[in-house]
């Protein structure tokens, strides 16, 4: 099992679109559909991101998500912890005291101090978390969107989100007209 699951990948891709959609507020459905990922999974991820204060939601037909903070203030580590929870990369089982050559009680020297393997894993985790804390959505966006992605594609995505939002608005207005007409017929 991967330490960092696909939920983090989906979250980061979706958040990068929020960084680059100007004032649009894409829905979780729109964010899922543009990337071809499960809508229900993205909705679940976004509820975690909202609880963590990374995104904020607005309700209604015009509703959707926006970043709750500036992209420079949101680290990749913050996103990982929001989606996955803060969990260690290594779960030491202290097997060093279970050697078959030990009688029922292992000698004290066999389990004194932090296990050397566990210490290596703790240092690796600390280095990884420190690195992930230095990467922000702003720097990640610059890296992803600045490496060969044509601006025309980014513009196409903005138009796509805008058209989706207008379609929801048209559906809302049409629904209001239908309800109003049926009320008058009564």
In a domain, 161, yes or no: yes
If one counts the domains in the chain, the total is 1
In a domain, 166, yes or no: yes
pLDDT in tens, the chain (186 residues): 457 889 999 999 999 999 987 767 898 999 999 999 999 999 999 999 999 999 999 876 667 899 999 999 999 999 999 999 988 888 888 887 777 888 778 888 888 888 888 899 999 999 999 999 999 999 999 998 877 788 888 888 888 888 888 887 777 777 666 666 665 655
In a domain, 102, yes or no: no
- Contact between residue 8 and residue 41 where contact means Cβ atoms under 8 Å apart: no
Cα–Cα–Cα angle for 165, 21, 68, rounded to 5 degrees:
100
The CATH number that applies at residue 60 is 1.10.10.10
In a domain, 118, yes or no: no
User: The domain containing residue 77 runs over which residues?
Assistant: 6-93+137-185
- Contact between residue 154 and residue 145 where contact means Cβ atoms under 8 Å apart: yes
In a domain, 29, yes or no: yes
- The pLDDT value recorded for residue 176 is 67
- The pLDDT value recorded for residue 1 is 46
In a domain, 114, yes or no: no
- The pLDDT value recorded for residue 180 is 64
Q: Coil, strand or helix: which one is 75?
A: strand
In a domain, 67, yes or no: yes
Q: What are phi and psi of 109, to 5 degrees?
A: -60, -25
In a domain, 152, yes or no: yes
């Amino acid at each position: 099992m991967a330490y960092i699951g696909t939920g983090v990948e989906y979250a980061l891709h979706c958040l990068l679109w929020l960084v680059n959609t100007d004032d649009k507020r894409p829905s979780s459905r729109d964010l899922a559909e543009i990337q071809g990922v499960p809508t229900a999974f993205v909705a679940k991820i976004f509820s975690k991101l909202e609880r963590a204060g990374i995104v904020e939601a607005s309700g209604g037909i015009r509703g959707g998500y926006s970043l709750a903070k500036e992209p420079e203030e949101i680290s990749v580590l913050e996103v990982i912890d929001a989606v996955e929870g803060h969990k260690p990369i290594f779960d030491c089982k202290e097997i060093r005291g279970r050697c078959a050559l030990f009688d029922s009680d292992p000698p004290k020297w066999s389990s004194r101090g932090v296990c050397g393997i566990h210490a290596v894993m703790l240092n690796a985790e600390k280095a990884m978390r420190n690195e992930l804390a230095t990467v922000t959505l702003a720097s990640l966006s610059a890296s992803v969107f600045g490496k060969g992605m044509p601006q025309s594609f980014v513009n196409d995505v903005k138009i796509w989100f805008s058209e989706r939002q207008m379609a929801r608005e048209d559906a809302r207005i049409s629904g209001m007209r239908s309800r109003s007409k049926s009320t008058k017929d009564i």
